[in-house]
Amino acid sequence: MRLLTILTTSVILGLVYAQDVSLTQVRQAFQAARIPTDASVVFNPSVLLEVAFPQATGPDVRVKAGVQLPRNKTAIPPTFSIVVNGPGRRPRGEFVVAMVDLDAPTPQTPTSAQIRHFLGGNFTPLRDRGGLALLSNSTPAVSGFLQPTPPAGSDPHRYVFLLFQQSKAFNGQTFVGPTTSVAKFNISLFAQEVGLGNPLGGTFIRVGPDSPAA
C-alpha cells in the first residue's frame, strides 16, 4: 500500500514536472498563451529547450511549457539543456539564452514589460547525458538570473525562455550592459539589433506572487 502510494506520487509529480517532448505541443502552448504576439517573435521551434530549476532538496523541477510553478521552486538559477534524443534537429555552435517576464507589473497592465530575467551567451552543448546536452557557458551572463517576483495581488506572470543561435555580433554588442535597466526590455528588438534571427526553441513558466502571510 505504502509502495503504491509512493509510486502514484512519483507518477503524479512526474506528470506535473515532466519536460517538453513535442515541438508541436510547445509551439501550441506558446500560441495559446499569446506569447509570439506579445513578445513580437516568430516561434517555430526546431529544438526542444529543457529548463530545469535545481532544488535545495530533491530532484530538479523540469519545465513543461506553460506549467505554473510555486515561486519558491524558482529560487536557484535554472540550467538549460537541448534535448538530443527527441524530435528536432541537433544544432551546433554557440547559443544565446534569454528569459523575460511579459507581464510586469501585471498581465492586465504590463507597463514595465518586458523584464529581463536572464540574458547570456557563449553557451555550448556538453556531451549527451540521458538524451540531454547541458548548455554550458564559458562567459558570465550579460544579465544574471533574477528570480520571478510578481507583486502581491498580481495574476501569475508568463516567464519566457528563448534559445537563439548566437551571432557574430553578440559578444561585441553594446545594447545591454551591466547597468542597463532590466525593465522595458524588448527581446525581439534585441534579437534584431544583434542579428540573432528567430528563436530556435523555448519554453515558459507561470509564476504567481507568494500568498500573503496569514
Ligand X SMILES: *[C@@H]1O[C@H](CO)[C@@H](O)[C@H](O)[C@H]1NC(C)=O
Task: List residues near ligand X by CB under 6 A.
Answer: 40, 70, 72, 186, 188-189, 192
Of the two residues 8 and 192, which places its CB atom closer to ligand X in the complex?
192
Nearest approach in angstroms of CB 191 to ligand X is 7
What is the DSSP secondary structure assignment for residue 81, as one 8-state letter? E
Q: Which residues contact 76 (CB under 8 A, 6 or more apart)?
A: 53, 54, 55, 56
Of the two residues 80 and 164, which places its CB atom closer to ligand X in the complex?
164
Pinpoint the alpha helices (H) of 132-186. none
Strand partners, 107: none
Nearest approach in angstroms of CB 35 to ligand X is 13
Nearest approach in angstroms of CB 71 to ligand X is 7
The greatest distance separating any two alpha carbons of the chain, rounded to the nearest whole angstrom, comes to 60
Of the two residues 70 and 140, which places its CB atom closer to ligand X in the complex?
70
**Long-range contacts formed by 69-73: CB under 8 A, 24+ apart:** 69/205, 69/206, 69/207, 70/207, 71/147, 71/148, 71/149, 71/150, 71/207, 71/208, 71/209, 71/210, 72/210
Nearest approach in angstroms of CB 192 to ligand X is 5
Nearest approach in angstroms of CB 163 to ligand X is 18
Of the two residues 25 and 186, which places its CB atom closer to ligand X in the complex?
186
Backbone angles phi, psi at 129, to 5 degrees: -135, 115
Backbone angles phi, psi at 32, to 5 degrees: -60, -30
Of the two residues 180 and 186, which places its CB atom closer to ligand X in the complex?
186
Nearest approach in angstroms of CB 119 to ligand X is 15
Identify the helix (H) or strand (E) that includes residue 96. strand 95-101
Of the two residues 67 and 83, which places its CB atom closer to ligand X in the complex?
67
Q: Are 126 and 177 in contact (CB under 8 A)?
A: no
